[in-house]
Amino acid sequence: MLLGGLFQRFDRGSWARTELREGGISEIERRAREYGLPKLVWPDPWPDSYLFAMRVATYAEREGLVREFALSSFRDAFTRGIDQAIPVHVLNAAEAAGLNRDAAESAAREPEIKQALIGATARAGDLGVTGVPAIRIDGRVVWGDDRLDQAVRA
């Protein structure tokens, strides 16, 4: 799903574009250390427009490699600071995940892929998803990296 689409639907935006940015980034870095994750390297700019990346993710899902693509893309973005709004970087992540680079680039322009992403975004919104990451538990949506422990307890 496309987070920007949900932001439009629910008339909201990213905390990372507000005065909460510095504190939010510090909090995410603290949690990452507690989880034993690698040191975060933030892409510049962040956040940006990830429409192309999400179309490639939609293609990766169709090909059965969405997990691999997501991990490759997020690792590039947040351990190397590589901007995933730039198509060549997204295609590098796709290739590293086992996708054919040319096929991924072509698929991102396919009406079927575009419509699948629009549909996934609409379905997420219909289920009550307004942010990410989101987990639906017994009909209730828990979203936000800071609420993962709450989701696990539920």
Over range 113-132, report the average pLDDT. Answer: 96
Which residues 6+ apart lie within 8 Å of 55 measured at CB?
Answer: 107, 108, 113, 114, 117
Over range 110-130, report the average pLDDT. Answer: 97
Q: Output the pLDDT for position 35.
A: 92
Given pLDDT bands bounded at 50, 70 and 90, which one contains residue 132? Answer: very high
- For the ranges 72-76, 92-96, 101-105, 145-149, which has the lowest average pLDDT? 145-149
Task: Please give the mean pLDDT across all residues of the chain.
Answer: 96
Q: Among 26, 32, 73, which Cα is nearest to 52's?
A: 73
Q: Output the pLDDT for position 47.
A: 96
At 119-128, the pLDDT tens digits run: 999 999 999 9
60 vs 143 pLDDT, higher one:
60
Domains and CATH numbers, the chain: 3-127 (3.40.30.10)
